[in-house]
């Protein structure tokens, strides 16, 4: 399992050449939902998550936000023609505006594939989103690259990807030393009207709508496992009571890359930028600057 720190690298291993991170995109889909935990207000901010298959090569068994690696087709003209714009901050965590648009398109595609959710205009129903996902799965049986079929299916549905509604939130890079590394851009958006979300029964085996606090409590109780980027994202949103507040909070977040660094010891830890034991001196994400492994769980702490 990636991010588990069960196989802390030795100093010799840490000097080995590590793979270059691959571009990826992640999407936090939020909704307002009636919930007993919201009290008299009757509203609770919830986020959609999926549990990855235990045999997945990356983050097996972990509860994550929908997302995946950037495909070359995400930046091609057919995909760009389907996008309706780009958030003004998105270019700041990409190489160019075109690159940022490809990442936003990737987030939409991966959200459909893993969660059955497609941010688009005009809005479509859950059944229509499921039909597009089914068509994508069918295309994958006959084509070498099923992602290339995505723009054709979206165009046939007579909609455009609502990339303009994807708000940049964070950028996390898998630590050096991992066999699979990703440079993941985190976007945030509101649940598309008429859609519900459901895992794909392939890469993901379960899905859940829950408040950030509930997910963090379940992690602390050992009922599910979360990776540090997910923990920190949920923590930042844990006091938000509605979708608008959560989306507005994105403006306060740095979009500089956050690449945790392993520190072996007893206990082992992952340090973040701004920690005395991290190579980057300035903070790049709100909250404590390290995740210490205690009793099998990452615990966010500041240095003594």
Residues 6+ apart with CB under 8 A from 292: 267, 268, 269, 298, 299, 301
3-state secondary structure (DSSP) of residue 41: helix
Judge whether 56 lies within some domain: yes
In a domain, 258, yes or no: no
Q: How many structural domains comprise the chain?
A: 1
User: Does residue 193 form part of some domain?
Assistant: yes
Taking the C-alpha atoms of residue 137 and residue 117, their distance in angstroms, rounded to an integer, is: 15
Q: What's 98's domain CATH number?
A: 3.90.79.10
Question: Is there a domain that residue 298 lies in?
Answer: no
Q: Is residue 260 part of a domain?
A: no
CB neighbourhood size of 78 (10 A): 13
Neighbours of 192 (CB within 10 A): 23
DSSP H or E run through 28: strand 22-33
Give the whole-angstrom CA distance, residue 198 versus residue 206: 8
Q: Give domain status of residue 134, yes or no.
A: yes
H/E element holding 160?
A: strand 160-161
User: 119 is in which domain, residue-wise?
Assistant: 18-253
Pairing of strands 22-33, 182-190: parallel
What's this model's pTM, rounded to 2 decimal places? Answer: 0.90
Q: What's the confidence (pLDDT) of residue 59?
A: 46
Q: What is the mean pLDDT of each run of 10 residues along the chain (304 residues)?
A: 41 60 97 66 82 55 91 95 97 96 97 95 96 83 61 96 98 90 97 90 80 96 94 97 96 97 95 98 97 95 95
Q: 265 lies in a domain? A: no
Close Cβ partners of 40 (under 8 Å, ≥ 6 residues apart): none
Whether residue 297 is contained in a domain is answered as: no
């Amino acid at each position: 399992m990636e991010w588990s720190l069960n196989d802390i690298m030795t100093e010799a291993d840490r000097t080995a050449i590590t793979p270059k991170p691959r571009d990826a995109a992640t999407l936090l889909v939020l909704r307002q939902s009636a919930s007993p935990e919201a009290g008299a207000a009757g509203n609770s901010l919830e986020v959609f998550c999926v549990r990855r298959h235990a045999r997945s090569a990356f983050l097996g068994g972990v509860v994550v936000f929908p997302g995946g690696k950037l495909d070359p087709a995400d930046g091609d003209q057919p995909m760009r023609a389907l996008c309706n714009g780009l958030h003004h901050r998105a270019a700041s965590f990409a190489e160019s505006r075109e690159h940022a648009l490809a990442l936003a398109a990737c987030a939409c595609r991966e959200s459909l594939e893993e969660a059955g959710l497609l941010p688009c205009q005009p809005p479509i129903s859950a059944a229509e989103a499921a039909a597009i996902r089914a068509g994508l799965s069918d295309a994958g049986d006959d084509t070498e690259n099923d992602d290339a079929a995505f723009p054709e299916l979206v165009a046939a549905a007579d909609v455009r990807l609502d990339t303009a509604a994807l708000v940049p939130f964070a950028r996390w890079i898998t630590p050096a030393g991992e066999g699979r590394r990703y440079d993941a851009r985190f976007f945030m958006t509101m649940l598309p009207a008429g859609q519900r979300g459901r895992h794909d029964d392939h890469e993901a085996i379960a899905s859940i709508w829950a408040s950030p606090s509930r997910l963090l409590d379940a992690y602390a109780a050992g009922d599910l496992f979360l990776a540090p980027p997910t923990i920190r994202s949920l923590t930042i949103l844990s006091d938000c009571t509605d979708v608008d507040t959560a989306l507005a909070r994105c403006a306060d977040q740095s979009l500089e890359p956050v690449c945790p660094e392993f520190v072996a010891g007893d206990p082992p830890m992952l340090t973040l930028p701004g920690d005395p034991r991290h190579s980057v001196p300035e903070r790049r994400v709100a909250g404590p600057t390290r995740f210490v492994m205690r009793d099998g769980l990452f615990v966010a702490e500041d240095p003594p």
